[in-house]
A and B are shown apart, each in its own frame.
Chain A
Amino acid sequence: MDVLRSESTASDDRSTTPAVELAETRRRPGPRAKRLLDLYLAAYSSATNEFPYWYTRRYMQLDGEIPVVRRATALKEAFSHLTPTIYPGELIAMGKAHYYRGSFPMPWLSEAYYMAKEDELYQAALAKGATSADQVSRFGSGGGNVTASFGKVVSIAGKFGIRQEEVPALLAVARSWRGKSVDDLGHRYEQMVPGYPRKEEIMRSIVCMFDSGFTLPQGREVINYYYPLQHGFDGLLALLDERRAEVAGRADGDGLVGMNRLYFYQAARLVLEGIQAWITNYAGEARRLETREADPVLRQEYGELAECLEWIAHHPPRTFRQAMQLCWTAHVAVLNEDCISGLSPGRLGQVLYPYYRQDIQAGELTDPEALELLEVLRVKFTCLDCFASMGVVGGVLSGNTFNNLSLGGLTPDGQPASNELEELILEAGIRCASPQPTLSVLYDEKLPEQFLLKATECTKLAGTGYPAWVSNQTAMNFLLDQFGREGMTPREVRAWAIGGCLETSPCSWMELRLADRSYPIPGGSGQPTSVGVHFVSLPKILELVLFDGLDRRTGRRVFEPHGQPLESFEQLFECLQRYFSQAVEVLTRTNNIQHDIWRKNNMAVFHSLLKPDCLDRGHHIGELGYRYNGTFNIETCGTINLVNSLAALHTRLYRERAFDLEALQEAILHNFGYRPADQLGSYSLADQQKAEGGERFDRIHHLCLTAPKYGNDDPQADTMLARWEDWFCAMCRTYESLYGKPLYPCQISVSTHGPMGAATLATPDGRLAGTTFADASMSAYPGTDRNGPYALFTSATCWDHSRSQNSQLNLKLHPSVVQGRTGTRKLLELTRNYLRRGAFHIQYNIISSQTLRDAQQHPENYRGLMVRVAGFTQYWVELGKPIQDEVIARTEYEGV
C-alpha cells in the first residue's frame, strides 16, 4: 500500500501550492478600523438641513440665470457652507454631512415624501400613487435606523433622525420647492402622456415600484476619478478656463447646443471652487484639532491629515494615501450633488495601483499600512446613507447604498487585471467586514488561481456574502451588443465594472501618468443605469391578467379589461405580454419626462466633469456629454414566481384540466384558504396558517404547489423561463429613452420582492398572498429546488444571460459545505462552473438557517451579522421582516 501513501502525499503537495492563507478563523480589523467601525455601529442615521438650506437660499436668489450656472452656483454655496467634522483616528476624512452617519434630503428633486403624514403635500403624493410603495415597505427596526421619534429626535422618511429644532426650517425649505421640484414639474408634464391615469393606477397597485427621475436620478454606475487624479483641482480649473475661452461665442457647427458649452465650463468651474472650499474647510478643522490636541500621536495625525487635505484641494496626489483621499472626496462630492444610490468606485484597486506600486517600491508604504487605509476606507463607505423615500430606501434598497467595488477582469490588452492591491482589498474585506463597499469579482478564465482563491476565501470568511461573482465574458457580450452602436470597441469593453448592485456598466480606459510612467486605468464613462422603468412586478401583472385588469386587493382598475376568456395558454400569454407592454409604454414615457425635467434644471455638474467626454465636448450629461448614453432599462421583479405560475397554469389548467379558471380565481381570492400574511406577521410560506373552512382549497393548492417548478432541470418549467426571457429581452429594445437609445432588461430584485410580494395576491404557483417573492431573478422559490445546485444551475442557464444587463442567483450554503482548505477550492469550482455555463452572477450566504432564526429572535446578539439579500449585503438587524423571512426560507444546500 505504499502506492496509496505516496499518492496521498502528492495530493497534499498540490493543495499547498496556492500561497493563500486559509486559516478558518474569522479575522478581525486592526484597532483603528475597529474603533471607527464600533462608532458606526453605535451611530444613528441622522439627517441635517445644512446643505438644503444653503442650496435653496442661493438658488432662489438666481431667478433668470442660465439653469446650469444657477444650479452650479447653488451647489458652490452649499459645499462652501458644510460644517466640517473629523473623528479621532480618521486617516481618510470628509463625509456627506457633519454627522458620522449623516445625510440630507434634496427637496429640489422631491419634497413631499418626508413631510409629516398629515401634511397636504404628503397627502397629495399619496393621492397620485407616488408614495404607495412606502406603505408596503418595511425598514428593519434595529441597528441605526430611526424608525420612530424619541426625545428631541424626530424620525423622518421612516429611517432618519433629525433634531427637533431643525424641523421647522427643513419643512420651510421643502415647501419652497413646491411646484418647482423635478417631482412636481415632472408631474405637470407627465399627465400629458396618453393614458396617464393608468400610470397612477400602476403605481397605486404596486405593479411598478417607484418613479425614476425624481427618486434616485443617478447611480448604479461607476464613478471616474481620473481627471482629479491626473490634473488636480487647480489643473482642472486651468483646463476649464482654457476651454471656456475657446468656445465662448462659438457654435462650432452645432446650432442647437454648441453655444451651451460656455455655460457648462463656467458651471463646472463654480462647482469646483465650492468643492475646493469644502476641502479647505476640512483642512482647517484638522489644523484646529491639531493645535488643541494634547495627545502627541493624535496631534501628529491631525497635522498629517491637514497636510493631505491642503494638498489635494489644489494638486494632483503624489502618494497612495493622497490618491485615496482624493478619490473619496470626489466620491462624496458626487453623492452630495444629487440623490444617488449605487455610485460604485469601480475597479478602485486598479485605479490606485500606480500609487501603491510607486510608494511600495520607494519604501514609503508597507502592506500593513495600505491594509489599514483600506480598512478605514471601508468604514467611510459604510457610513454613507442615502436620503430618499421609504419606498425607495426601505422597500428597494433596504438602506443599502451599493458602492460596489469591482476586482479582477482584464486589462486593455486582454491580460488578467488583478493585482496585489486587489488582494489587500479582499483581505480588508475579510478583516473589516462591513456592508460597504461591497465587492464583486469580474470572473474571467484568465485570472490567476491565486487571486480567485483569495476572493473565494473572502466569500467564505467575511461572512457577509461578498464578493459577488460575475462573468466577465457574459457582461462584455452584453455591453458590446448595447454600446457597440455608440462606438464601444473590444478593447474598451474590458474596462467595464459593476455599477450599484449588479448593473453591468460601461467604462473606459484613461492613461494616467505618474512619475514618468503611464498606466491605463478604468473608470466609468456611461450614464446612470437602473433608470427608466423601476421594477415591474411580474406576478402582479399575471394576477391582473387572471382578473381582467382589476386589482382585487385595492378594488381599483389598473388595465382596461382584456375581455379574453383565457381558454388557452397562448391566449393567456398574449394577455400577459399585452398588459406588460402597456405598463412599460406609459412608464417609459412618464419617466422619460421626469428625467428630461431633471436634466434641464437638475443636471449633474461635478459628476459630468468627471466622466468622459464631458470635459472635451463641453456638454454635461443632459446633452449627451457622456461617452455611453444607452443605459436606461426596464427592471422586473418576481421572475421565478411568474415562471412557476406559468408552468402551473400550463400543466394543471390547460394540459391536465385539473381545475378550471374560475376555481383557480376563487382559490386565489381566498388565498388558497389561508389567513393573510400580515395578520400573522410572517412573510415566509412555511409559516402561513390555514383560515377556518380553508380546507376546500386544499386540492387546488396541492395541485399548484406540486406543479413543475423552476430550479429542477425540469423542461416543463424551464421552457417557461426561456420563453419569457426570449420575449422580454427583445421587447425592451423596442422602447426608447429620452436620450434616443433603446432600453434593455435589468433583472435584479434588490429588496422589491418583499413589498411587491406584500401587494400581490396568491399566485398560481401556490405562493400565498402577501408573502415575499423568490429573491433575485434566478434564485429558486424557497424550498422548491429539490434536486441540488447542479439542477438549479442547469435551469438557470436555459437562456442567454448576455441578452440582459444582468441576472441574479443567490445560493445559501451550510458552512459544512465549504469547510477546510479543500472547501475553499470546491467553492471556487462551484462558482466557476456555473459562470462557465454563460451565467452572469452567483453569490452566497454561508450561514445556517438555524443561526438566522436565532438572530431574528435575539437581534441584540447579532448587531454585526451581515447577510446577502439580492445584490447587496446588509446588517441583519436593519432588514425589514419580510426580507428576513425570505432569507431564512431559502433552500439551504448542505451536502451531507
Chain B
Amino acid sequence: MSEQPTAWIFDIQGHAVHDGPGCRTLVFLSGCSLRCRWCANPEGQLMRPRLMVAANRCADHCTRCLKACPQGAIRLDPLGTPGKRLRFDRSLCDRCDDFPCVTACYHQALSICGRQIRLDDLMRILQRDRSFWGPEGGVTFTGGEPLVQADFLIAALRECHRSWMHTAVETCAQVPTADLLSALDSLDWLLVDLKQMDPARHRQGTGVDNRLILDNLRAVASSGWSGRLVIRLPLIPGYNDDPVNLAATLRFLEEIGAGELEILPLHRLGQSKYEQLGMADPYVDQSPPSQERVEEIRCFFAAGGIACHCGGDRPW
C-alpha cells in the first residue's frame, strides 16, 4: 500500500442531513475552481492549510505567536481593541507550512484548517460512521470543489461503492468534463449548483463564466447515468433571484430534462470564518431572502413542472 491516494480536506462532518438522502457523513475536500462572493466555506478554497484566528480567544497579555513567527508576518497594532491587537500578513501566512505561531498559541486562538488525509484513513472513518447512517444514508463529498482533486475523489468513490456505501457528490461543475463523467461510474447522487444563467453575471459572481458548467450539466443529463441528479439554486438576493434569471434557469432545466431543483437560500453561517481567515466578507450586510420570496420562487418552478423544494420540505 505504498501508493495510497492522499487528499487535502478541511473537515469531516458526521450526521449531516441536508446534502443527500438519509443521515450522512460529509467529506469536505479542499480547493475550488470558483470564487463565489457568497461562499460559505471560504476556508476550503485553497488546497493547503489555512491559518484561522479566533480573535475572541486571543489573550491580551500574550504575544507568543508574534515571537514565534520567523517571517515576521504578525505585528502588534497598538491601537487594536482587545483580542484584535494582532495583525496578520496573510500573504505570508498563506505560504507558511509549519505554522510555529499555532504551536506557540496557548489559548486555542490560532488553529490550522486543512490537512492531508490518506484514502485508507478516510475509509476507516467512513466504515465507523456507516453504522450510524441508517439504510438511506451514505457519504457526500463536498468542498470546496471535490473534483479539483479528481484522482482522489474517483478512487474514493470507487472504494465506497465497493463497500456498498451510498455515494453523493456536491459540485459546482466547473471541472473537466471527463473527470465529472468518470466520477459518475461510482456515484448514486449528484448535486450540482446552478448559480446564474447569464455568462457575464456568472463571471461577476464567481470569477468565471458558466459555459463549462452548462455543458457539463448537458453531458451528465445525456450520459445515460442512472443516478439521481439534483440541481441546486443558491438563492442570492440581488444576484440571481430576478425574473430573467429564474426564467432562463427554468428553460435550461427543461432543455436538459432535469426534473428537480432545490433552492438553497443564502445563509450567513460562514461569516465568522471570513473573520478568522482575515478575509473580507462581501455579503456581510446581505440578509437572507425572505421566506415569502423563497416560496414565490419555489412556486414559479413548480408551475413550470419542476419538483422544487427548499429546506425542511426536501423529499429526502
Binding site for B on A (CB under 8 A): 1-5, 7-8, 11-12, 15, 24, 690, 695, 698-699, 701-702, 705-706, 713, 787-791, 793-794, 817, 819-823, 826, 829-830, 832-834, 836-837, 893-896
Q: Does B95 contact A (CB under 8 A)?
A: no
Inter-subunit contact A7/B228 (CB<8 Å): yes
Contact status of A12 and B315, CB under 8 A, knowing A1-B259, A706-B108, A836-B131: yes
Q: Other than the known A698-B62, A829-B136, A895-B17, what 14 A-B pairs have Cβ atoms closer than 8 Å? A: A5-B259, A5-B307, A24-B312, A788-B15, A790-B25, A791-B128, A794-B128, A822-B17, A822-B312, A822-B315, A826-B17, A826-B134, A829-B22, A895-B13
Measured between C-beta atoms, what is the minimum distance from A671 to chain B in Å?
15
The reply to whether the CB of B299 lies closer than 8 angstroms to some CB of chain A is: no
Closest Cβ of chain B: how far from A665's Cβ, in Å? 19
B14 touches which of A3, A790, A822 (Cβ 8 Å): A790
- B129 A790 Cβ-Cβ under 8 A: yes
B15-72 residues at the A interface, CB under 8 angstroms? 15-18, 21-23, 25, 40, 59, 61-62
Min distance, Cβ B260 to any Cβ of chain A, angstroms = 6
The answer to whether A695 touches B221 (Cβ under 8 A) is no
Beta-carbon contact of A1 and B256 below 8 Å: yes
Partner of A789, one of B15, B229, B267, B313: B15
Contact in complex: B15, A8 (CB < 8 Å): no
- Given A698-B59, A788-B14, A829-B134, A823–B256 Cβ distance below 8 Å? no
Residue in A11, A701, A817 whose beta carbon sits within 8 Å of that of B106 in the complex: A701
Chain A residue nearest in CB terms to B128:
A794
Q: Are the C-beta atoms of B106 and A699 separated by less than 8 Å?
A: yes
Q: Which residue of A lies closest to B134 (CB)?
A: A829
Say yes or no: A789 contacts B14, CB within 8 Å. yes
A706 nearest in chain B by CB position: B108
Q: Is the CB of A695 within 8 A of B62?
A: yes
- Asked whether B311 lies within 8 Å of A1 as measured between CB atoms, the reply is no
B40 proximity list for chain A (CB < 8 A): 896
Which of these, A4, A787, A791, A895, contacts B259 with CB under 8 Å?
Answer: A4
A1–B252 Cα gap in the complex (Å)?
13
B226 on the interface (CB 8 Å rule)?
yes
CB within 8 A of A823: which of B12, B17, B226, B315? B17
Instruction: Say if the beta carbon of B314 comes within 8 Å of chain A.
Output: yes
16 A-B residue pairings within 8 Å (CB atoms): A1-B258, A5-B307, A11-B316, A690-B59, A695-B59, A698-B107, A699-B106, A788-B12, A789-B132, A822-B312, A823-B312, A829-B133, A829-B137, A832-B134, A833-B133, A895-B18
Chain B, residue nearest A694 (CB): B61
Name the distance in Å between A706's Cβ and chain B's nearest Cβ: 7
A819 to B310, CA, bound (A): 11
B259 cross-chain contacts in A, Cβ below 8 A: 1-2, 4-5, 8
CA distance A895 to B22 in the complex (A): 13
B269 at the interface (CB under 8 A from A): yes
Known: A702-B107, A893-B15. A4 touches B260 (CB 8 A): yes
B83 within 8 A of A: no
Residues of B within 8 A of A702 (CB): 105-108
User: Looking at the complex, which one of A2, A8, A823 makes contact with B307 (CB distance below 8 Å)?
Assistant: A8
Closest chain B residue to A820, Cβ basis: B312
Which residues does chain B contribute within 8 Å of A15, judged by CB atoms? 315
For B14, B21, B128, which residue has the most chain A Cβ atoms within 10 angstroms? B14
Residues of A within 8 A of B311 (CB): 819-820
> Given the complex of chains A and B, what is the CA–CA distance between A817 and B13 in angstroms?
13
- Taken together as a complex, chains A and B put the C-alpha atoms of A7 and B137 apart, in Å, by 16
- The answer, among A4, A699, A713, A894, for a CB contact under 8 Å with B128, is A713
In the bound complex, how far is the Cα of B309 from the Cα of A820, in angstroms?
12
Give the complex CA separation of A46 and B43 in angstroms.
57
**What separation, in Å, do the CA atoms of A788 and B14 have in the docked complex?**
5
Tell me the complex Cα distance, A602–B258, Å: 76
Instruction: Give Cα A822 to B228, complex, Å.
Output: 18
CB-CB nearest 4 A-B residue pairs: A820-B312, A788-B14, A829-B134, A1-B257
Within the complex, which residue of B256, B269, B312 is in contact with A896, where a contact is CB–CB below 8 Å?
Answer: B269
Chain B residues near A1 (CB-CB < 8 A) = 221, 229, 256-259
A787 to B14, CA, bound (A): 7
Cα distance, A833 to B136, chains bound together (Å): 13
- Closest Cβ neighbor of B124 among chain A residues: A713
Nearest A residue (CB) for B256: A1
Beyond A1-B257, A788-B15, A819-B312, is A830–B229 a contact (Cβ under 8 Å)?
Answer: no
Distance (Å) between the CB of B38 and the closest chain A CB? Answer: 14
A837 and B313 alpha carbons, distance in the complex (Å): 31
A residues near B137, Cβ cutoff 8 Å: 829
User: With A and B bound together, what is the CA distance between A346 and B105 in angstroms?
Assistant: 53
Indicate if the CB atoms of A8 and B17 lie closer than 8 Å.
no
**Which residue of chain B lies nearest to A697 when distances are taken between CB atoms in the complex?**
B106
The smallest beta-carbon distance between A377 and chain B, in angstroms, is 32
A820-B313, A837-B131 given; A788·B13 CB < 8 A: yes
CB-defined contacts of A705 to chain B, threshold 8 Å:
108
Query: C-beta contact mask, B257-296 vs A, less than 8 Å → 1, else 0?
Result: 1111000000101000000000000000000000000000
Q: Are B15 and A895 interface neighbours, CB within 8 A?
A: yes
Q: Quick check: B59 and A830 within 8 Å, CB to CB?
A: no
Enumerate chain B residues within 8 angstroms of A3, measured Cβ to Cβ: 226
Q: Complex Cα distance A833/B15, Å?
A: 11
Give the contacting residue for A8; candidates B22, B62, B133, B315; CB below 8 A: B315
Question: Which of chain B's residues has its CB closest to A699's CB?
Answer: B106
Q: Which residues of A contact B132 (CB under 8 A)?
A: 789-790, 793, 829-830, 833-834
Residue of B nearest to A700 (CB): B106
A833 x B107 contact (CB < 8 A): no
Q: A826-B23, A829-B134, A896-B269 are in contact. Are A817 and B229 (CB under 8 A)?
A: no
Q: Which residue of A lies closest to B18 (CB)?
A: A895
Would A817 and B17 count as touching, CB distance under 8 A? yes
Asked if B128 and A8 make an inter-chain contact with CB atoms under 8 angstroms apart, the answer reads no
Closest beta carbon of chain B to A686's beta carbon, Å: 9
Q: Which of B21, B23, B228, B267 contacts A4 (CB 8 A)?
A: B228
Select A817's contact among B15, B25, B313, beta carbons within 8 Å. Answer: B15
Chain B residues with CB under 8 Å of A830's CB are 15, 23, 132
In angstroms, Cα B229 to Cα A816, docked, is 24
A829 to B316, CA, bound (A): 13
Taken together as a complex, chains A and B put the C-alpha atoms of A787 and B12 apart, in Å, by 8
Tell me the minimal C-beta distance from A386 to chain B in angstroms.
Answer: 37
Q: Which residues of A contact B129 (CB under 8 A)?
A: 790
How many Å lie between the Cα of A682 and that of B108 in the bound state? 21
B228 to chain A, nearest CB (A): 6
Closest to A690 in B: B59
- Least Cβ–Cβ distance between A106 and chain B, in angstroms: 47
B108 vs chain A, min Cβ distance (A): 7
Task: Tell me the minimal C-beta distance from A612 to chain B in angstroms.
Answer: 40
Q: When the two chains form their complex, are residues A833 and B13 in contact, meaning their CB atoms are under 8 A apart? A: no
Give complex CA distance A12, B18 in Å: 16
Q: Which residues of B contact A701 (CB under 8 A)?
A: 106
Q: Which residue of B lies closest to A794 (CB)?
A: B128
**CA of A789 to CA of B133, assembled, Å:** 11
| Contact status B17-A698, CB under 8 Å | no
Considering the complex, give the chain B residue whose CB is closest to the CB of A15: B315
CA distance A218 to B174 in the complex (A): 68
Which positions 94-152 of chain B face chain A at CB distance < 8 Å?
105-108, 128-129, 131-134, 136-137
- Measured in the bound complex, the distance between the Cα atoms of B62 and A699 in whole Å is 11
Q: In whole angstroms, what is the CA distance A832 to B134 when docked?
A: 9
Shortest CB-to-CB span from A350 to chain B, Å, is 28
Kindly state the separation between the CA atoms of A699 and B15 in the bound complex, as whole angstroms. Answer: 35
- Bound-state CA distance A895–B12 (Å) is 11
Q: In angstroms, how far is the closest chain A Cβ from the Cβ of B223? A: 11
Q: Are B17 and A833 in contact, CB atoms less than 8 angstroms apart?
A: no
**For the complex, what is the distance from the CA of A321 to the CA of B139, rounded to whole Å?**
51
CA distance A580 to B17 in the complex (A): 43
Contact yes or no, B314 A895, CB < 8 A: no
Is A790 in contact with B108, judged by CB distance below 8 angstroms?
no
Complex Cα gap A706–B109 (Å): 12
A101 CB, nearest partner CB in chain B, Å: 38
What's the nearest-Cβ distance from chain B to residue A395, in Å? 32
